[in-house]
Amino acid sequence: MKYEPTCLEIFLTRLAFLLCGKSVYQAFADRLPLDGGEQVLDFGCGMGTVAYYIAKKLPHGHLTCLDISERWLNTCQKTLRGYRNISFMLWEFPHFINESFDVVYCHFVLHDITESELKRVIPVLAEALKPGGVFVFREPFNETNKISLIKRLAEQNGLISKDSRITDIPMMGNALECVYFKK
């Protein structure tokens, strides 16, 4: 569901990014399997909290930052100004070339999406991955029903579970991080 953030929400997110950027977002970025030349999609990039760290890891690759919100996408462009290896995309469903990404990640996005929308989104993300590509999501641990649905949809769309971990996020509690690959 499309939702535009308020100025206060953007301000608070910036503050959280300044205070917890390394421990929350960089830690997640560091675990993604990147060598520097990959094509990567940040689905639901927000202000670019994770993208800020990913962009530095792709000297020969490319990062696509996608969001449903024009305002978040504009904020993300400001966070990432100066980088040349990034493009910005407003989510217009469906919009990708199939098998074009090595890595697709969703950081605190999918639990906010309705079940019916997830049934449309996950197949598109799976199709957008190259064979051998990696899909990673991190969502609040207590969103058990949504997480079960996301996992089921991932598997129904040809993604194979590779790894998962629980991480503790300051002020937000536990989060579940799951890694899938496409055969």
Ligand X SMILES: C[S@@+](CC[C@H](N)C(=O)[O-])C[C@H]1O[C@@H](n2cnc3c(N)ncnc32)[C@H](O)[C@@H]1O
Nearer to ligand X, 120 or 160 (CB): 120
User: How far is residue 65's CA from residue 44's CA, in Å, rounded to a whole number?
Assistant: 8
Residues that bind ligand X (CB under 6 A): 44-46, 49-50, 66-69, 72, 91, 107-109, 112-113, 117
Least separation in angstroms between residue 76's CB and ligand X is 8
Compare residues 109 and 122 and give the one whose CB is closer to ligand X: 109
- Minimum Å gap between C-beta 50 and ligand X is 6
Rounded to the nearest whole angstrom, what is the least distance from the CB of residue 183 to ligand X in the complex? 25
**Cβ closer to ligand X: 138 or 151?**
138
Buried b (16+ CB within 10 A) or exposed e, 118-127: beebbbbbbb
Strands 173-182 and 129-140 turn out to be: antiparallel
Integer Cα distance of 44 and 51 in angstroms: 10
CA dist., res. 42 & res. 105, Å (int): 5
Name the residue whose CB lies closest to ligand X. 46
